[in-house]
Amino acid sequence: MLFDSAGATISTDFTLGQIYYVVSPSGDTFQLSATSGGSGIGTSHLGAGIVQGVTVETYGSQGTFSLTSDTLTMI
C-alpha cells in the first residue's frame, strides 16, 4: 500500500491506500504492478511517500469468529 508522508506526496500515477504488487526487485529497487505477476507501472511523475508491505494469509476451515461488540483502546 502507498501513503503520503510528512511533506511528501506519492506520484499521481498511483492511488493512495490501494494494494500494489512488487515486481522486478533488484537490490534496493523494485517496480509496482496493479496485478499479481503483472507489468510494472511506468511513471514520469516525481513523488515520494511510504510503501507498506501487506502479507495476505489464507486460513483453512478453522471455523468462524463472530464479534458482536468490543472496545478498542489506543495508547
Q: What is the pLDDT of residues 9-66, one digit of tens each?
A: 888 888 888 888 888 888 888 889 999 889 999 888 888 888 888 777 777 767 766 7
> Does residue 22 form part of some domain?
yes
Q: Is residue 40 part of a domain?
A: yes
> Does a structural domain hold residue 41?
yes
Question: Is 8 a domain residue?
Answer: yes
Flag whether 67 is in a domain. no
Question: Is position 68 within any domain?
Answer: no
Comparing CA positions, the residue from 27, 33, 30 lying closest to residue 13 is 33
C-alpha cell at 60: 483453512
| Domain carrying residue 34 | 1-47
| Separation between Cα atoms, residue 12 and residue 28, nearest integer Å | 22
How many separate domains does the chain show? 1
Grid coordinates representing 45 are 511523475
